[in-house]
Chains A and B, each alone.
Chain A
């Protein structure tokens, strides 16, 4: 293949060698070195278990979330060059992005769709981890980090939602922060803290902007680093218990100091195993790295595709006295808004508090060792069923809130559009 030859040729040139330190790896030693001698690659282990490479197991959802995060940082930085967090200018800047800035709308589209996709990917990632029992010991803490990242992702999306300062943004944030305000005692204070006032205005925009571009990305970035670090330290991706290998039964021993690759092997015992690698591992270069690259290209291509054919919404300039009817929160909060329409206490307080509490205590309550690393393990039938029912209810509420609710939160049938009321334009 041509790319292969090109790459081999470039890596062997003077310049190529100066960049990569190790040329195209031919031996296992060089494959290990390829990983550890690169700052970007050494975050990952030199060797990885075959089980972790199975797309049918992980679905790549964690990586997809990470790639979307990268895309969001890149496109978000570009948008920052034009955006002004001011109630009098923000909306005009959106219009300028659309009409005069080169690729402005395209970049905004990418940012918008990647953001929605990331919320969805993170949620699906959590489902995958639950269904495969991957949060069980020794990975309980990493599940907690994951819960934190999930909340950070929601926070990033929610704060970003306000920034265009159009009707959609203004009223979604008004509804969303009102939901937060229903919490007893702390609710109104929390709402005031978020908005810097009692209603959405310049103070809220300033706060959401600072949170969106600095605070939450920093927390997210740090969280991702901890999350990935713990994936390695907790023994890589979760997998079913294996029969204890010969190597496993040997005591940990001091590795010979003259073997530079010893650090990467993370092998028990004194020597690398001949024939069968410890823990059935393969070299990350290229087995892991190349798969990751393919997935990255797929994610980028998909976001580009969405950005070409669907424009990010932009409604009328925010009008603080004329709410759209109905005013809806962002889609991931519509399940809660649907609940709020029945009971402010349940939708605004009890259910979100229950969800977060349940997610936090889950790995410490569910201490059984069975079923780790297997989708829908027989031994975990009860847990799987309970979780599935919760997810199904959440999806149902969200779908109802998104598609079946119209003016005054009354029922509408999405495929039958009501006759438009004769309004001024």
Chain B
């Protein structure tokens, strides 16, 4: 091996070493250059401009460029939004162009406790605009458009009675009155004809939801859901309510917020879970457990909450089962019971109404109206169904069926709907079985209500 061939190698070494150096340099530069640094420089320049004295100008100019983040361990989030949105807490930046704009109305939701993404969504860990705002591939939580921001209130606050979120409340009201629960489960209550909606707000985009309400079959081919005739504000409201259903179980502090505005949710739960079967309120109800009128006087709130979480831990040997309430539910129920102590007013428990009124409530509660129409008058399309391609009306149930037959039909459902034309697809809507959902007292009330639908002057048959 002579030295001339060595020269060749040294040449190669030089070229390749330079190439490796350049590539490593390019890699380093691309990593080192991050757009957020430009925003921070812009912010610092503005701060320097505003500083009154040279000393303070110097001080401001020395602000280091660094990632800023809000750590929210309870929410399992890290929000780095303030790395670019540096002035969210500074009112003097009101009306400033983004990303340096001030965020109004945050005093009740301090950023260090709530961060940003729990309301706005997006990708908190990201530090580039596209990634952080979340409209990128492989991130399923894009930022919520501002017009739908009230949906986020529903994660912690009761949707139905929140004066700060009127559109959310309207959406919730629509959901309960147009009969969505007839086909869809939400919070464990509802039919099984359509999919459960507990996490729909995390899975579907506003555009999808909107298109789906107006023309379901256009976005979900073969969907039997009847197109909804909402006014424009109502479409937005129901979409907004759907967006609020993210299925997020917020922990501790955040969940406790949910009961603050309302004992109503507690009352709802109290009725829904059938507490009255064992306990009594105002002299009505079971005798297995103690009366609860003055439980707020006898027990501390912490005791009651713990009792809802796990009865055995505070009341060893009790026969009360562990219901598996969520933290929010336990607190809502506690709130409701504490209200009994304070108010001592007669609550409009279903037991205080007549069977027909209670039945109407049941008809509304389980969303029967969604398919059978208001007051059971029918008119909802069910393509290819033998019954005039509609879901049958219930007005004349009393004529065609006996009470036990109606009960059986409701409990077992009717999965096979006779088709008008056997060659075409089967009718999409059918009667789900309500046996596992509806309670014993409710079914009797419901039937009483259905039989009451027959127009006045005709024989009721019972």
Contacts and interface: CB of A to CB of B under 8 A. Distances in A.
A203 interface: no
A127 B37 CA distance: 50
Contact of A316 (B24, B78, B140): B140
B140 A424 contact: yes
B384 interface: no
Contacts of B26: 308
Interface string A90-116: 001001101110110110000000000
24 contacts: A1-B11, A2-B14, A92-B125, A98-B126, A99-B80, A100-B80, A106-B27, A106-B28, A167-B138, A286-B6, A290-B13, A294-B13, A297-B13, A297-B17, A297-B19, A297-B20, A304-B23, A304-B24, A304-B27, A305-B23, A314-B138, A316-B139, A425-B134, A425-B135
A98 B127 CA distance: 9
Given A96-B125, A99-B126, A308-B23, A422 B16 contact: no
Interface in A249-294: 282-283, 286-287, 290-291, 293-294
B83 to A, nearest CB: 9
Interface stretch (B109-117, B153-161, B202-210, B407-415): B202-210
Interface in B291-310: none
Interface residues of A, number: 41
B6 A425 contact: no
A154 B128 CA distance: 35
A425 B24 CA distance: 36
Interface in A45-95: 88, 92, 95
A408 B48 CA distance: 60
A418 interface: no
B454 to A, nearest CB: 44
A99 B131 contact: yes
Contacts of B10: 1, 3-4
A194 B26 CA distance: 40
Interface string B10-44: 11111011011001101110111000000000000
A424 B204 contact: yes
Given A4-B10, A301-B16, A308-B30, A92 B78 contact: yes
A315 B138 CA distance: 5
Contacts of B123: 95
A396 interface: no
Nearest to A421: B219
Contacts of B11: 1
Interface of B: 1, 6-7, 9-14, 16-17, 19-20, 23-24, 26-28, 30-32, 67, 76, 78, 80, 123, 125-128, 131, 134-135, 138-142, 203-205, 208, 211, 219
Contacts of A88: 76
A298 interface: yes
Contact of B125 (A4, A95, A102, A308): A95
A106 B139 contact: no
A1 to B, nearest CB: 4
Residues of A contacting B: mostly: helix
Contacts of A305: 23
B80 A316 contact: no
A283 B5 CA distance: 13
Nearest to A28: B1
Interface in A119-148: none
A423 interface: yes
A316 to B, nearest CB: 5
A301 B12 contact: no
Contact of B31 (A102, A282, A283): A102
Contacts of A95: 123, 125-126
B20 A424 contact: no
Contact of B20 (A100, A304, A314): A304
Contacts of B1: 31, 282-283, 286-287
B7 A4 contact: yes
Contact of A294 (B16, B24, B28, B76): B16
Contacts of A316: 138-140
A300 B20 contact: yes
Contact of A1 (B7, B27, B76): B7
B219 A422 contact: yes
A60 B51 CA distance: 64
A247 to B, nearest CB: 20
- Of residues B12, B204, B211, which shows the largest number of chain A Cβ atoms within 10 Å of its Cβ? B12
Contacts of B17: 3, 297
Contacts of A315: 138
Contacts of A293: 9, 13
Contacts of B131: 99
Contacts of A307: 27
A96 B203 CA distance: 24
A425 B23 CA distance: 36
Contacts of A298: 16
A92 B72 CA distance: 13
Nearest to B204: A424
B217 to A, nearest CB: 12
B399 to A, nearest CB: 45
